[in-house]
C-alpha cells in the first residue's frame, strides 16, 4: 500500500503470536510508532528508526534490550544494526550487553571507520534483564520528507543459543538493508536468514523493476520453499512510500504510521 511521507514501519518479531500476549504486543507497537514518528518533526529517518527501536528495547515486551532472551549459559548477548540507504552507510554491533544496542550500532555508523564491532560496548551495560512475554526481535524502516531511507534491527537472538552465536540481525543484507531504493528489516531464524540474505534480495528484485510488495512476498515464498514455514518475516518500504510486510509464521507484530493513518496487526492485515 502507498503511504504519505514521512512513513515509519516497525515490527516486533515473527513467530507464534497465538501463544503470546498479542494485545500487549499491539499496544506496544502502537506506542512505538507514536514515539518514533515524533522524531520526524526535528530529525530524519535515522532518528525515527533509532528511537522506535530503542523504545522497543526498553519495553521488555520483545526479544531486544531488557526483554532479551538468555543464551545456554544464562547470559544475554545482543545484536543490532542500522543502515542509511542514500549514503550506503552502515553500523552494527554483536554480542553486546549495552542498554540500547541500536544506539551503539548508530555510533559505529556515524563514526564510519568500521561496519561491525563485537564485544562489550557502551557506557552502560544492562544488568536488569527482565525477559519478555514471548515477543521477538524488533526492527524499523523509515522514509522521511527528504527521501532518506533507513533500516534497523535489534535482538537478543535465539533462546538457549551458544555463547558467541551471532545471528542475522547485525549483518547488512540479512537482518536489515537500505539502499537509495528500499529499506528492509528481517526477523526469524538467523541460521536460515543468513543463508538467503532476504533484505539484499528484496533490493535486487526492486532494482529489476518488481514492486516492493511482490519482491518481499517472493523472497518469503522462496524461503518457505527451501526451508518450510515458521522461520521468517520481513517489513519493507520503497522510495515512493509503498510499504509492505510478509511472514510465513503464525503472526508478526507490525505496524505503519504516515501523515494520516496508523495501522497495527499481529495476524491477518495488509500494511
Q: Which residues bind ligand ASP (CB under 6 A)?
A: 13, 63, 136-137, 155, 157-158, 167-169, 187-190, 193
- Cα 243 from Cα 2, distance rounded (Å): 6
Nearer to ligand ASP, 40 or 55 (CB): 55
Q: Helix, strand, or coil here: 54?
A: helix
- 3-state class of 4 per DSSP? coil
Contacts of 261 (CB under 8 A, 6+ apart): 3
- Please, which residue, 26 or 242, has the CB nearer to ligand ASP? 26
Whose Cβ is closer to ligand ASP: residue 100's or residue 169's? 169
> Taking the C-alpha atoms of 241, 170, 62 and 257 in order, what is their torsion angle to the nearest 10 degrees?
-10
Cα–Cα distance for residue pair 214/182, rounded to 1 Å: 13
Is position 25 annotated in a ligand binding site? no
β-bridge partners, 2? 242
As measured in angstroms, the least distance from the Cβ of 137 to ligand ASP is 3
Minimum Å gap between C-beta 110 and ligand ASP is 24
Rounded-to-integer distance, Cα 237 and Cα 141, Å = 7
Minimum CB–partner distance for residue 24 and ligand ASP (Å): 17
**Of 32, 127, 137, 249, which one is the catalytic site residue?**
137
Catalytic (active site) residue 224: no
> Residue 249 annotated as binding?
no
Residue 188, annotated ligand binder? yes
Mark the binding-site residues, compressed into ranges.
Answer: 165-168, 187-190
Q: Please give the positions annotated as active site.
A: 137
Amino acid at each position: 500500500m502507498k503511504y504519505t511521507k514521512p512513513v515509519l514501519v516497525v515490527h516486533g518479531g515473527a513467530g507464534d503470536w497465538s501463544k503470546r500476549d498479542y494485545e500487549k504486543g499491539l499496544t506496544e507497537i502502537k506506542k512505538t510508532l507514536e514515539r518514533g514518528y515524533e522524531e520526524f518533526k526535528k530529525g530524519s529517518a535515522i532518528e525515527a528508526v533509532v528511537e522506535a527501536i530503542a523504545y522497543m528495547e526498553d519495553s521488555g515486551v520483545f526479544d531486544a534490550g531488557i526483554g532479551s532472551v538468555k543464551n545456554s549459559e544464562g547470559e544475554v548477548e545482543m545484536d543490532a544494526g542500522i543502515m542509511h540507504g542514500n549514503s550506503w552507510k552502515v553500523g552494527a554491533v554483536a554480542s553486546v550487553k549495552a542498554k540500547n544496542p541500536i544506539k551503539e550500532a548508530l555510533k559505529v555508523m556515524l563514526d564510519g571507520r568500521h561496519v561491525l564491532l563485537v564485544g562489550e560496548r557502551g557506557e552502560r551495560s544492562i544488568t536488569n534483564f527482565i525477559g519478555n512475554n514471548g515477543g521477538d526481535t524488533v526492527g524499523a524502516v523509515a522514509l522521511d520528507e527528504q527521501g532518506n531511507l533507513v533500516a534497523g534491527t535489534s535482538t537478543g537472538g535465539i533462546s538457549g543459543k551458544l555463547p558467541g552465536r551471532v545471528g542475522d540481525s547485525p549483518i547488512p543484507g540479512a537482518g536489515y538493508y537500505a539502499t537509495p531504493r528500499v529499506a528492509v528489516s528481517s526477523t526469524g531464524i538467523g541460521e536460515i536468514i543468513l543463508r538467503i540474505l532476504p533484505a539484499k534480495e528484496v533490493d535486487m528484485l526492486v532494482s529489476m523493476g518488481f514492486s516492493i510488495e511482490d519482491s518481499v512476498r517472493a523472497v518469503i515464498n522462496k524461503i518457505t520453499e527451501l526451508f518450510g514455514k515458521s522461520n521468517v518475516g520481513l517489513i519493507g518500504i520503497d522510495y515512493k512510500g509503498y510499504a509492505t510486510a510478509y511472514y510465513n509464521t503464525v503472526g508478526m507484530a507490525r505496524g505503519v504510521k504516515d501523515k494520516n493513518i496508523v495501522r497495527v496487526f499481529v495476524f491477518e492485515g495488509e500494511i
